Amino acid sequence: MYRFVLTRQWVCLTLVALVLIPVMIKLGFWQYHRHVHRVAQNELINANLRAKPVPVAEVSSPGREVPRADVWRAVTATGTYDTAHEVVVRMRTSNDDKVGFHVVTPLVLGDGRVVLVDRGWVPGGDDPRAYPPVPAAPSGEVTVTGRLKADETSGGSGIKDRKGLPDRQVMLINSAQQSEYLGRPVLGGYMELTSPAPTGAGPEIITEPDHDSIGAHMAYAVQWWLFASAVPMGWLVLVRREKRDREEEAAKAAAVEAEPATA
């Protein structure tokens, strides 16, 4: 009675089921790995944010790529702001999701090297191509604390570094590009300023990244695995239902054939 599973319709249905099972299992593991990565990322961010700040020159140098283990690490730097070579980064959002600019000011260290400092967010003016109103950076020697970030690239961020931008406007914070602009050696990566807080109407300091939520990736993983286990169960239910329907139809047909003989 199960020979119907060899029909074209049932062979196609079975093949679809056989394809869906490994696909759903793989999707489940994909979500699981995203969960594991998020947990590890949160632990790394939390540890680096809570660690005692170290001089930025100890963990970065010109041309050095900031390793993942050092991203978000608390660092300090002492120097003088070079406001003449300050730039703003286009299409950046504030802590409450308003679109504006980030202000990146080079900080010249005592040995002549430079570290880029993202001083925070400012709103744009009426003309989006004009240089926005930017509160002046502190003058004289300053000591700042911030979070170490890796250089932004088009490949890593998805942001295109467009040409032909207005003067002193960029799309990416990239130490190599700014080194060419400044004509000075620039430490790899940049600092996201956390203190001292600006006085008055200074740039809005960027808040800490979210390092508490883990998202719903684990729940999605379990859902995909449940879907994968439901496919063979559903296939069996359909087979049994088809068998029952065929048996009922066969019994009705036999009863119809038998009626004239008994009349």
pLDDT at 247 over 70: yes
Task: Give a yes or no: residue 201 inside a domain.
Answer: no
Task: Give a yes or no: residue 10 inside a domain.
Answer: yes
In sequence order, the 6+-apart residues with CB closer than 8 A to the CB of 166 are: 129, 130, 131
Note whether 66 and 102 are same-domain residues. yes
Q: Residue 147 carries which side chain, given as an amino acid letter?
A: R
Q: Residue 61 carries which side chain, given as an amino acid letter?
A: S
Q: Which of 51, 67, 90 is nearest to 173 (CA)?
A: 90
Average pLDDT for 150-176: 84
Q: Which of 57, 67, 137 is nearest to 104 (CA)?
A: 137
Task: Return the axis-axis angle of helices 217-262 and 8-50, rounded to nearest 10°.
Answer: 160
Note whether 137 and 167 are same-domain residues. yes
Lowest-pLDDT range of 155-169, 189-203, 206-220, 224-238: 155-169
Q: Which has the higher per-residue pLDDT, 245 or 113?
A: 113
CA 58 → CA 76, 85, 208, 258, distances in Å? Answer: 10, 24, 22, 96
Task: Read off the pLDDT of residues 111-130 as tens digits, 9 standing for 90 and up.
Answer: 999 999 999 999 987 777 78
**How far apart are the C-alpha atoms of 53 and 8, rounded to whole Å?**
69
Lowest-pLDDT range of 32-46, 72-86, 149-163, 185-199: 149-163
- Helix (H) / strand (E) element for 124: namely none
Instruction: Dump strand ranges (E) for the chain.
Output: 54-55, 74-81, 87-93, 99-109, 114-123, 141-149, 169-170, 190-195
Note whether 78 and 16 are same-domain residues. no
Domain housing 29: 3-42+216-262
Q: Which has the higher per-residue pLDDT, 41 or 186?
A: 186
Which residues, listed in sequence order, are joined to residue 190 by a DSSP beta bridge?
A: 149
**How far apart are the C-alpha atoms of 144 and 135, rounded to whole Å?**
17
Task: Give a yes or no: residue 210 inside a domain.
Answer: no
Note whether 29 and 123 are same-domain residues. no
Say how many domains are in the chain. Answer: 2
Q: What percent of the chain has pLDDT over 90?
A: 57
pLDDT for the residue numbered 104? 97
Q: Which residues of 147-175 are buried (b: 16+ CB within 10 A; e: fewer)?
A: bbbbbbbeeeeeeeeeeeeeeebbbbbbb
**How far apart are the C-alpha atoms of 215 and 221, rounded to whole Å?**
12
Note whether 60 and 33 are same-domain residues. no
Note whether 77 and 28 are same-domain residues. no
pLDDT at 55 over 50: yes
User: Is the separation of the CB atoms in 152 and 175 below 8 Å?
Assistant: no
Task: Give a yes or no: residue 63 inside a domain.
Answer: yes
pLDDT at 31 over 90: yes
pLDDT at 101 over 50: yes
Task: Give a yes or no: residue 211 inside a domain.
Answer: no
pLDDT at 76 over 80: yes
pLDDT for the residue numbered 263? 47
pLDDT at 192 over 50: yes
Task: Give a yes or no: residue 207 inside a domain.
Answer: no
Residue with tokens 């283990």: 69
Task: Give a yes or no: residue 73 inside a domain.
Answer: yes
Which residues, listed in sequence order, are joined to residue 36 by a DSSP beta bridge?
A: none
Looking at every residue in the chain, the average pLDDT score rounds to 88
Note whether 176 and 107 are same-domain residues. yes
Average pLDDT for 144-172: 85
Note whether 131 and 230 are same-domain residues. no
Average pLDDT for 253-261: 73
Note whether 67 and 95 are same-domain residues. yes
pTM for this predicted structure: 0.74
Note whether 79 and 188 are same-domain residues. yes
Task: Give a yes or no: residue 203 inside a domain.
Answer: no
Domain boundary among 150, 165, 195: 195
Note whether 70 and 188 are same-domain residues. yes
Helix or strand or coil: residue 141?
strand
Note whether 104 and 226 are same-domain residues. no
Average pLDDT for 95-124: 94
